[in-house]
Amino acid sequence: METLGRYTWTTARGNPAAGQVCFASEPFAGYANTVRVNDFDAEGNDRSTILDNVADGDTVYIAKRNGNVVRLMAAIVDGTPVNGAGFFGYPVTLPLYFNENDEPADDEDVYVLRVATANAGWPDVSELVLILDIAPDANVDAWATTLDRYLAAAINHVKGDVGRWDDAVNTPNDNLAGAALRMAEILATRPDGASTENDPAYQAFMTGQRKRFGLA
């Protein structure tokens, strides 16, 4: 995770002044918006060079402190960043769980953070064909619809195991892609006993990938 700079959040929409970061328009869950960050941070440092490193597919975080707890507001950059007149604009789609309390307060100190794209992508049918050793091509064509269904079910299973998956924010890494491929293989070869609980390969892929929640 890379720190882009320390800023002051403003709830004013539009173009941020020096030292500020904001939304371009009123934010709503599941809707497109733009996070705009001024070239100069709250300490007057020119951050334009590092801000220019943000790319389509990266995740931008706005970190705010609530007592001893750091709260993160996250969104994936889903378009080409714009180098505006004194600021950078990062197009995002806000996650479905976003609500007004996720936005920092006006004049609140925040850090703008970035995680570079590390999206392995979900596996496709061509990978599953290799795992299942399906040949010749005519057999692959005959099984294409079924294999698509196995993969879709496997990917949904992995998302459920991760917990609170939101396609607007979360992207699969190599471990999750491997877990989905293994799950699809299990579904295809053991349809009557497709449990991953005691499957060492699936559990190895999922190690450290599940979100943990405290008890209320």
pLDDT of 213 over the 50 cut: no
pLDDT of residue 136: 64
Question: Please, which residues bridge with residue 7 across strands?
Answer: 110
Q: What is the pLDDT of residues 167-183, one digit of tens each?
A: 877 888 878 888 998 99
pLDDT of residue 208: 81
Q: Domain 2-115 has what CATH class? A: mainly beta
Q: Are 179 and 209 in contact (CB under 8 A)?
A: yes
| Lowest pLDDT segment from 2-11, 32-41, 64-73, 123-132 | 64-73
Question: Please, which residues bridge with residue 8 across strands?
Answer: 20, 109
Determine the average pLDDT of the residues in 120-138.
Answer: 76
Sequence-ordered list of residues with C-beta below 8 angstroms from that of 208, at least 6 positions apart, any chain: 175
Q: What is the pLDDT of residues 133-168, one digit of tens each?
A: 776 666 777 888 889 999 999 999 999 999 889 887
Q: Which residue ranges does the chain devote to CATH 2.40.30?
A: 2-115
Sequence-ordered list of residues with C-beta below 8 angstroms from that of 39, at least 6 positions apart, any chain: 18, 46, 47, 48, 51, 86, 87, 88
pLDDT of residue 1: 65
Distance between CA atoms of residues 170 and 93, nearest Å: 12
pLDDT of residue 194: 62
Distance between CA atoms of residues 171 and 119, nearest Å: 6
Question: What ranges in the chain are assigned the alpha helix state H?
Answer: 48-51, 125-132, 137-162, 174-189, 200-206
Backbone CA torsion sign across 49, 52, 57, 62: positive
pLDDT of residue 214: 43
Distance between CA atoms of residues 102 and 108, nearest Å: 13
Tell me the pTM: 0.58
